[in-house]
Amino acid sequence: MGMKNWKAYCLLGVVLLMQSCYSFRGISIDPAITTFYVAPFENRSPNATPTLAPDFTELLKDKIRNESRLVFTDTDPDVEFVGAITTFNVTSEAPQPGEQVSFNRLTIGVSVDYINNRESDEKKRTTKINKSFYSEFPSDQNLFDVQDELIRTISTQLVEDVFTAAFTNW
């Protein structure tokens, strides 16, 4: 066996060994589950914008439609998402000398019940998913000027987190 062949076999062996050590599991949805429903999210945070809950509902529906094989239905769905916007807070962060704030942070939190109507074990049927995420903006900017972009960024990450919690086996 020539030196080139030996190196090729070693490289192949290392690649195969690495592949067996780590495997990535994406979404994992039981084949019996074919439909989903996302109930309109409630707004339980007094500071949240009026459109946050309905926008979040639609964003979650779109994520599931686009990244799974599930079909939306409001009649006898296999899985359901029932949730609420629980947090919408702006806080000042990183004070500088002289008590000036260097940036502000918008935090949004959601609470979601993921209900698997195909599960016969009552204890396993509902999974609580509580997630929050934040985005920062300079203290010299007005929240109303950057609010839409911040909400979009935070909501996108929260939807990803809820989707991952519901449909992956990490």
Task: Give the span between the Cα atoms of 10 and 78, in whole angstroms.
Answer: 48
- Residue 150: the pLDDT is 96
Q: What counts of helices (H) and strands (E) characterise the chain?
A: 4, 6
Per-residue pLDDT, averaged over 133-157, amounts to 93
Instruction: Please give the residue that has the higher pLDDT: either 5 or 115.
Output: 115
pLDDT digits (tens, 9 = 90+) for 29-52: 889 999 999 999 999 999 999 999
Task: Give the span between the Cα atoms of 164 and 85, in whole angstroms.
Answer: 18
Confidence of residue 122 (pLDDT cuts 50, 70, 90): confident
- Residue 28: the pLDDT is 81
Structurally, at CATH architecture level, domain 29-167 sits in: 2-Layer Sandwich (3.30)
What secondary structure, in 3-state letters, does 93-126 show?
A: EEEECCCEEEEEEEEEEEEEEEEECCCCCHHHHE
**Segments making up each domain of the chain, as ranges:** 29-167
pTM of the model: 0.80
pLDDT digits (tens, 9 = 90+) for 78-87: 999 999 999 9
